[in-house]
Structure 1
Amino acid sequence: MATGEENYDIDALTEKLKAFALTQTKSAAKMDSKTVGKVCKECWPKALQTRVDSSVFPKVMDKTTKSISLENKEQIRKFISEAAIQYDDIKEKSKDFKKHEKFLAEKIIESQLGIKKTEVSKTGAIDRLTDTSKYTGSHKERFDEAGKGKGVEGRVDKVDKSGYVGNYKGQGTYDEKH
């Protein structure tokens, strides 16, 4: 079935899988069962996820390394092909495997695999929390005028070893009076 006549971009698919595998296993060379499961969870329908985990991955994986080699495009083609067969069995039963292969491959290529988007708070909590005019006591010393945290300097009281009490206003005036 996998003859290199796929109707999807195998190179783009391989690169996307390598980049994702690198974020998961620190190796862009292979995908283990856990990584394949995460790809399925992020890209494919839920009904297909269990079938890939129980049927497709064990059938396609290298028996010695228990993984799919991302250097071997034939193994990736076989993985997509077997997943398409399972997808057809779940969804349509149309036996149009090439259409399903393209659909599944493009879902992976177009996805934002492993990329978590950080959004700015819609409630404005950051602005409120860094506004020093709203703090009282020692807490207002934790941020500078721009709202940037001072770090340790804003949290730790430095001991004044000059011999004067902290709120004494006449510090340094002893010699002037005598």
Structure 2
Amino acid sequence: MSWDGSTDSGGSGLAHYAVSVDGLQDQTVSAGTTTATVDSLAAETSYEIGVSAVDGAGNASNTSTVTATTSTGDGAGDVLAEVEPSTTTATVGERITFQVADTSGDERWITALDWTFGDGTTATGWWNEHAYAVAGTYTVAVTATANDGDTTTDEVTITVS
């Protein structure tokens, strides 16, 4: 999970964030961090995940919560396909080759692969080439669909100079 950072105007400063699961504190996250991974959740179960900011005096903000439902453990959280770029750093106009490593397993197979290159360009298929016209940092994503209808997305960051 991730959240927007907080500040403390009362003078004692932001000390940490408290992450909770169903109202019980699960972990403490340092003040400079705005992400946390919640582990050991049961499959097919809804949880109320919350985060609150705690200042140096121990005062906690109101807890912001979301309800999240876990899926079955059949994919163990793994992606169906992994992006494999020929490079993660390139120059403007340089062609980068992207291919997919099939990680779907023995019981499932990939039926569709949809790509986004972070610059408005999209594609399909197991293999693609792409060149960026402008320097910057781009997120390349491939969304894989399996024969059982499951979809996952894998991403890689490309830096173009």
* TM-score band w.r.t. shorter chain: under 0.3
Mark the structure with the bigger radius of gyration: 1
**Relative to total residues, which structure has the larger helix share, 1 or 2?**
1
User: Between Structure 1 and Structure 2, which shows a larger proportion of strand residues?
Assistant: 2
TM-score, normalised relative to structure 1: 0.21
- Provide TM-score, normalisation by structure 2: 0.22
